[in-house]
Amino acid sequence: MSFRDLHIPGDPFVLANAWDVGSAKVLAGLGAKAIATSSAAHAFTLGRPDGGHVTRDEALAHAQDLIAAVNVPVSGDFEDGYGEAPETCAETVRLSGEIGLAGICIEDTIGASERVYGFDLAVERVRAASAAAGALPRDFFFVARADGVMTGGYDIEEAIRRVQAFDEAGADGIYVPLPKSFDDLKRIVAATEKPVNVLAAGPYAKYSLADYAAIGVARVSLGSALARVTHRALCEGAEAILGRGDFGPLTAAFPGGKIDAFLT
């Protein structure tokens, strides 16, 4: 099944965000139908904070490593497309297609800030990226993100206005991370016929895949949440060891042989 064909409203799949080759192999080995990069989780592996601290070249090289490591489609989380101009977004799509990515998503936020691009420019960026995706020699699934609800840049009404405009501008899928309520999420799904991605993080981690299926969601991604779970284990374990001399957390370590089986 192609990456595009996985996107079935009402029958969502999990787009498993990996942060390095090892995690990508483990997730694919555990049954993930597709892998995605995570801009935040990738930054963590480089010793950098989330938000605009990774270049486009670095993100592409990282994605290429994941593509080579697994036999499932890989999608890229490419922040704001690495530049303001619609032409820059289009170039990011073209470069992504050249390295073999199955698709990418691009946000309407300005760089690493909480500010958002104005409506008209945001739509033109999506239009340019969508046109570039359609011109590629192989199928490519472009997702337009409306991040302003999550960052505080705009309200749900503006999010829906953007969702509908991004749909009309040619986006293959729509992604509004962390709307304020599940009812707002329902409104977003109802506002477009395009497949909708949901971020299973924060308050949205309490819902099940069946809950998302019931409202017509097509894809559930993890963002950096799974990477942050590993960081919690790292911090809590290290705090016990270094702070109290307690090695108890190490008894929960996953057997090395099982990990090795995914990596060979």
Q: Is the pLDDT of residue 92 over 90?
A: yes
Residue 204 lies in a domain: yes
Enclosing H/E stretch for 230? helix 225-244
More confident residue, 264 or 89: 89
Model confidence at 138: pLDDT above 90: yes
The band of 264, judged by pLDDT with boundaries at 50, 70 and 90, is confident
- How many structural domains comprise the chain? 1
Q: Does the residue 163 lie in any domain? A: yes
Q: Sorting pLDDT into bands at 50, 70 and 90, what band is 114?
A: confident
With CA atoms as reference, report the closest residue to 226 among 1, 8, 37: 37
Mean pLDDT over 155-163 rounds to 98
Q: 187-230 pLDDT, tens per residue?
A: 999 999 999 999 999 999 999 999 999 999 999 999 999 999 99
Domain assignment of residue 50, given as a range: 4-226
Q: How confident is the model at residue 84 (pLDDT cuts 50, 70, 90)?
A: very high
Q: Name the band, by pLDDT with cuts 50, 70 and 90, for residue 150.
A: very high
* Residue 253 Cα distances to 96, 112, 193, 260, angstroms: 36, 35, 44, 14
Whether residue 176 lies inside any domain: the answer is: yes
Kindly state whether residue 248 falls inside one of the protein's structural domains.
Answer: no
What is the pLDDT confidence band of residue 111, given thresholds at 50, 70 and 90?
confident
Give the CATH number, domain containing residue 109. Answer: 3.20.20.60
Distance separating alpha carbons of residues 146 and 135, to the nearest angstrom: 24
**Contact status, residue 89 vs residue 97, Cβ threshold 8 Å:** no
- Angle among Cα 66, 48, 144 to the nearest 5 degrees reads 55
The pTM of this model reads: 0.96
Mean pLDDT taken over the chain = 97
* Residue 112 pLDDT greater than 90, yes or no: no
Indicate the pLDDT class of residue 51, thresholds 50, 70 and 90. confident
104, two tokens: 């990418």
Domain-embedded: residue 26 = yes
In a domain, 263, yes or no: no
Count of CB atoms within 10 A of residue 232's CB? 10
Burial of 210 (0-12, 13-18, 19+ CB in 10 A): exposed
Confidence of residue 245 (pLDDT cuts 50, 70, 90): very high
Q: Is the pLDDT of residue 113 over 80?
A: no
Measured distance CA(198)–CA(115) in Å, rounded = 21
Contact 78, 88 (CB under 8 A): no
220 is a domain residue: yes
Q: Distance (Å, rounded) from C-alpha 104 to C-alpha 90?
A: 11
pLDDT for position 262: 92
Q: Mean pLDDT, to the nearest integer, of 218-243?
A: 97
